[in-house]
């Protein structure tokens, strides 16, 4: 199926690399106009410029392939905007919404993807590290969801919020004792906000990835034969790719899931069901 997100405006936090980048590409391929959030750093700026170039290339290829079909298909596919901010700033959430309204006139879907994950032994985790993970992974997502859904309520035609949680929200990890509670909090927010906002036609769902190979966890996977050990636990016998998560996000962002809310989908290749 194609054009699942045609005429929809999708804002994605942490979109310049990794899972966020894959989500952006997948949503654009389905016809969405994007608000691409990234950190205000030279590295992130370079990443988002590379992403925009990739999106333009994909758009040109899709426009050529659709040249003899419906002229409205992908007519807005070059209309993406970018937004740079530290998501823990008090004004960052409303800034994202304002960007969507300024450039696109509305906001249909928010993908709370931005996050940090720094591996550490339990007894070495400081209060500052714990607070940093909570501020970025949970509190910022809460405030962005609040700002985005307030706009969706005002628009009066529903909307969708997708959270990127983690398999560690429900399964333990010795080196992520400070990270997994933030993702468990995301699952709690998903179900409670789904109840609170359901009357407005706003759906809230979570995608919980298993081990996905990204630059964030490359060093961890490269150490002590971890990649092979983690792969052996997965029934599908491979680690996840960012594109695997992106496909699940497209489902929740689109009308395919119009009667689905308050749910969390594990995208883990079956690792969570493999009792060894």
Question: Which residues form the catalytic set?
Answer: 166, 179, 183
Cβ atoms of residues 19 and 246 within 8 Å: yes
Number of Cβ within a 10 Å radius of residue 2: 12
Cβ atoms of residues 190 and 262 within 8 Å: yes
Q: Find the angle CA(153)-CA(157)-CA(159) to the nearest 5 degrees.
A: 70
Among the listed residues 252, 174, 257, the one whose alpha carbon sits nearest the alpha carbon of residue 208? 252
Give CA–CA dist 59/50, Å, rounded: 14
- Which residues have a Cβ under 8 Å from the Cβ of 13 and sit 6 or more positions away? 20, 37, 87, 96, 110, 111, 112, 113, 114, 140, 141, 144
Give CA–CA dist 237/47, Å, rounded: 30
CA distance to 84, 220, 229, 234, 236, per residue, from 225 (Å): 37, 10, 6, 15, 19
Strands (E), 129-258: 159-164, 202-209
Give CA–CA dist 40/45, Å, rounded: 7
Paired strand residues for 267: 209
Tokens of 34: 């994007």
DSSP 168: G
Give CA–CA dist 252/161, Å, rounded: 8
Give CA–CA dist 105/42, Å, rounded: 29
């Amino acid at each position: 199926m194609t054009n699942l997100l045609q005429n929809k405006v999708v804002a994605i936090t942490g979109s310049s690399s990794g899972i966020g980048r894959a989500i952006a590409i997948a949503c654009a391929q389905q016809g969405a106009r994007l608000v691409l959030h990234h950190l205000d750093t030279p590295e992130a700026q370079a990443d988002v410029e590379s992403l925009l170039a990739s999106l333009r290339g994909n758009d040109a290829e899709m426009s050529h392939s659709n040249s003899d079909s419906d002229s409205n298909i992908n007519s807005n596919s070059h209309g993406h905007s970018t937004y740079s901010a530290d998501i823990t700033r008090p004004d960052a959430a409303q800034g994202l919404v304002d960007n969507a309204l300024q450039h696109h006139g509305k906001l249909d879907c928010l993908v709370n993807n931005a996050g940090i994950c720094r591996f550490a032994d339990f007894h070495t985790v400081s209060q500052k590290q714990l607070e940093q993970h909570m501020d970025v992974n949970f509190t910022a997502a809460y405030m962005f969801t609040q700002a985005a859904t307030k706009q969706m309520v005002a628009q009066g035609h529903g909307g969708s919020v997708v959270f990127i949680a983690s398999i560690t929200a429900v399964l333990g990890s010795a080196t992520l004792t400070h990270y997994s509670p933030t993702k468990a909090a995301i699952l709690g927010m998903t179900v409670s906000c789904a109840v609170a906002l359901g009357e407005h036609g706003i759906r809230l769902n979570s995608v919980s990835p298993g081990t996905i190979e990204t630059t964030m966890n490359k060093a961890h996977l490269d150490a002590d034969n971890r990649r092979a050990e983690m792969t052996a636990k997965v029934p599908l016998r491979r680690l996840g790719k960012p594109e695997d998560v992106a496909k699940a996000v497209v489902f929740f962002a689109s009308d395919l899931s119009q009667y689905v809310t308050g749910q969390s989908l594990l995208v883990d290749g079956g690792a969570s069901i493999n009792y060894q």
